[in-house]
Structure 1
Amino acid sequence: MKNLWLEVVIIWWMWMDNAMKPDLRGGLEAALGRAEILGKRWQEWIHQPSSQMEPLITDQVSQSGHTRADVVFQLKHLAEAITVESLQAWVRQSWPNGFAKSSNLNESGIPDSMLICCVHAGNIPMVGLQDMLAICLAGDFYAGKLSRRDSALMQAWLEYLCYQEPKLGQKLAWSTDAAGLVHSLNRPIQAWIFTGNESTWEMIQKQFVVDASAHDTPAATLVRRAEASIAVLDDQQSPLHSSELKALAEAMLLYQGKGCRSVGLIVSSKPLSFYQHSCAMVDSMEAVIMDSNQDESPVSEERVMERGWCAANQIAHIWVDHLLIREAPDYVFEPNESLFSTIPGVVYWVQGDRSQVEKWFDDSRKAAQIQSVYSVNTREHTSQSSRNRAEPSSKSRVESKTEPLELAQRPPIHWTPDGENPLSWVLNLPSQSHES
């Protein structure tokens, strides 16, 4: 009899526990449905006839200064990366932590939609697409401040989505003008995603204040500040193969090296002088330049002067018109100093190994600059694990950011800028943000 009462109590407790929880399964099914819609519409849009896509590509090239080949490369990559299956996998991967506890739940047990404003950079084509998709997958309201250097394709995609999915379109707004975007909204901005220098964020945010009384800053702000990435060559046993050299050249040169996933520093077991007269390395860079139809005219004066400085001071370097690889200056090893050159198209070379990268991760200023660490040895690639998150040592942080070099300019849709999954971040926004 005692055991029977115990079973009744356990069953009652389990029923009450489930009854008090939000219906996350229903929420998950809704998110998977949104993933299906977005994936299908994206595939329709990206595979439109060339008569419709070519004018958009031309406008994008005119705005951004990127070559047509760079824009087409990005579109081909996104066509492969964004599918119904990849979006649904991203939803499932991001869902286990569920939503933050909130008293502001609708009848489905899901927090009411938030208005999230994204201030997008314009350094590579459609750079804000991942954030836009994350917000839509979560069922929230996307307000996009598009860069004037990257608006043609994003605007065309958003217009297509609004036309094909009017209900979803009710939660989309965008503009290249901050004040114009705010005026188009009928509710306050509740959270922000910003890509750029953290020191400029407060100034940029003021552009969105059209009401002098609206001075409160929402607590939920995701700032992306990484500058560039590092390639670790793992070439102790033998020099790089031609395919590895091509992947390295692609990682440095695509989008004129302006992306945060672009390689700005190389760590090798060998000095740069070992590769300085390597025809294979120069050929690989020239091949990428030719494939991307880069035509920099005139060549950057700053880069030319840097090359002259290296030659005059017998600093090992490799030069092609669009790129200068040089031995890193000593200050790269100094605490709190920048890891990457401020001159576009200049990549630093450091003789060392992963232990050197681990030391940089011990310097908070340097660690914040690094987007990813690429390895040509994919067998050594280690994905982020719960162990790494539980033990945030410099070694585990290097491992969590390490990816195969060939993925440098081909990231999956679920990749984590600055180590933050944007979909998980949106789903777990604090309850006060939902209620503001």
Structure 2
Amino acid sequence: MKSAIDITQTVKNWLDPENQTLQKAVEKTISEGLFSSEDIQHQLSVLRGNVENGDVEEWVKRAGLTDEKNAKDKKVLCLHAGNLPLVGFQTAIGVILSGADYYGKLSRKDPHLLGSFLKEIQQANIGQEIQFSTDLDSFENLEADSVVFAGSENSVPDVKAGIQKRSAAKPNATYLIRTAKFSMVFLNKWNEEIKEELVEAMLRYGGKGCRSVAVVVAEFELDEVKEELRTSIQNFWKENPQHQKPAPELKYQFAYNEGIQRNQLWLEHFLIQETEELPETDFTVNWVQGDEEIVRALRMKFGEVVQSVYTAGSEIERLKTDPLSQAQNPPIWWKPDGVDVIRELIR
């Protein structure tokens, strides 16, 4: 089992802009239309900053990982999502840091980027089993001790059935299932920096990430910032044109909102509407005028589908929050669904 320092150096080697293995993976991902160059480079830039800031070592410290307390000799099967570029990286490196043997079922929507990292880890000979494939059949009779995967609540029974059918996990295996869908933000002030952070949080990766903002609670009405937002969103699209995708279903929502006289910001490919409803439509953000009490009430109402609550200033009493600036730039050690994968594996 290698130390966090050795694994960190391997990650740095992989992230090196001159690393041809990574560059080929990036080029292949772009050429196959899986993700845009802008989104990939954003993700790689975030990871490079995290590693340089000592996030890997910090995670080891926060999780309480030691030579005596680790997951060595455990088999962990990871079923990675593919909705964002390298969305499975945090889980993969967490399992590897824990000392467990890693078995990864990569998404066919993002096989090359994460695969390039895992090849780098394999070549580093860290003393742990590292295997990966895009086919769950590759893990038949694995009998893993733990399974980690992300998906909707509705998909859980089918996923478990598929694993059990192949004996890919032990009958008594532990399951770490992530089901959060979106994040919220509370705005009690407004300035140029906050506006740009909000647009990035709403639009990066097409708003598909669980850290993407889909509910805004603000102490001011949408009308007060509507035109500023319109301009900033259009500027974001100029720099990231792949996010300006046709969304014909939004026309019906726009027409409905017009009919009931609901205030909204309509941009054909994106809609911000004033409502406290659960956000369920892609490319839509719900705007609520309210205070901290409203934030707490909506957080409770929406439940486990909320990943994070962000603020652009002071924290909210009796509610865990993160800075809005970290929405699409989280540290490596952040806890999806409030769970630390290393801590879970070494329990």
Same fold flag (TM > 0.5): yes
Deviation at 1:210, TM superposition (A): 4.7
1:61 has 2:30 as partner:
yes
Residues 40 and 175 of structure 1: is their aligned pair in 2 closer, same or farther, counting only changes over 3 Å?
Answer: same
Give the alignment of 1:209-228 within 5 angstroms: 209-211=164-166, 217-228=171-182
C-alpha deviation, 1:63, in angstroms: 5.2
Which protein has the bigger helix share? 1
Is the contact between residue 247 and residue 270 of structure 2 (CA under 8 Å) also seen in structure 1? no
2:125 maps to 166
**Residue 239 of structure 2 is aligned to residue 291 of structure 1:** yes
C-alpha contact (below 8 Å) 1:120/1:195 kept by paired residues = yes
Partner of 2:16: 47
What are the Cα deviations for residues 174-220 of structure 1, in whole angstroms up to 9, with x where unaligned?
Answer: 1111112x14x7x41111111111231120122234557x8964341
The 3-state SS of whatever aligns with 1:49 is coil
Given the superposition, is the C-alpha separation of residues 209 and 64 from structure 1 closer, same or farther in structure 2, using an over 3 Å criterion? farther
Give the structure 2 partner of residue 311 of structure 1: 258
Q: Which amino acid aligns with 2:334?
A: W
Give 1:221's aligned amino acid: Y
1:375 and 2:322 correspond: no
Distance 1:295 1:368, change over 3 A: closer
Q: Select 1:269's aligned residue among 210, 219, 226.
A: 219
Following superposition of structure 1 onto structure 2, how do residues 4-403 of structure 1 map, counting pairs within 5 Å? Answer: 33-49=2-18, 52-62=21-31, 65-83=34-52, 85-95=54-64, 112-163=72-123, 165-168=124-127, 170-180=128-138, 182-183=139-140, 187-211=142-166, 217-235=171-189, 240-276=190-226, 278=227, 280-294=228-242, 296-297=244-245, 299-328=246-275, 332=277, 339-340=278-279, 342-363=280-301, 366-377=302-313, 380-381=314-315, 396=318, 398=319, 400=320, 402-403=321-322
| Mapped contact 2:75–2:145 kept (Cα < 8 A) | yes
Maintained 8 Å contact 2:310/2:327: yes
Compute the TM-score of the two structures, normalised by the length of structure 2: 0.91
How far 1:324 sits from its partner (Å)? 0.8
Residues 323, 116 of structure 1: alpha-carbon distance in 2 compared, 3 angstrom cutoff? same
Counterpart for residue 3 of structure 1: none
In structure 2, the CA distance between the partners of 1:152 and 1:92, relative to structure 1 (3 Å rule), is same
Gaps of 5+ in 2: none
Distance 2:303 2:165 in 1: 36
Cα-Cα RMSD? 2.5
1:414 Cα deviation from its structure 2 partner: 0.6
CA offsets per residue over residues 33-66 of structure 1, 9 Å max, x none?
A: 5211221111111114276544322322355643
Quick check: which has more Rg, 1 or 2?
Answer: 1
Gaps of 5+ in 1: 1-29, 100-107, 333-338, 383-394, 429-436
Q: 2: CA distance between counterparts of 1:51 and 1:130?
A: 22
Tell me which moved more, 46-55 or 300-309: 46-55
Query: Which deviates more from structure 2 when the two are superposed, residues 349-358 or residues 76-85?
Result: 76-85
Give % identity: 26
The verdict on how the C-alpha distance between 1:310 and 1:211 changes in structure 2, with shifts beyond 3 A counting, is closer
Give TM-score, length-normalised by structure 1: 0.74
Structure 2 contact 78–147 (Cα < 8 Å) conserved: yes
| Cα distance in 1, alignment partners of residues 69 and 305 from structure 2 | 39
**Counterparts in 2 of 1:40 and 1:173: CA distance versus 1, 3 Å:** same
Amino acid of the residue matched to residue 166 of structure 1?
N
The 1:271–1:39 alpha-carbon spacing in structure 2 relative to 1, beyond 3 Å, is: same
Contact 1:118–1:194 (CA<8 Å) still a contact in 2?
Answer: yes
Between structures 1 and 2, the one with greater strand share: 2
Q: Distance in 2 between matches of 1:311 and 1:193?
A: 44
CA contact (8 A) 1:38 1:84 kept: no
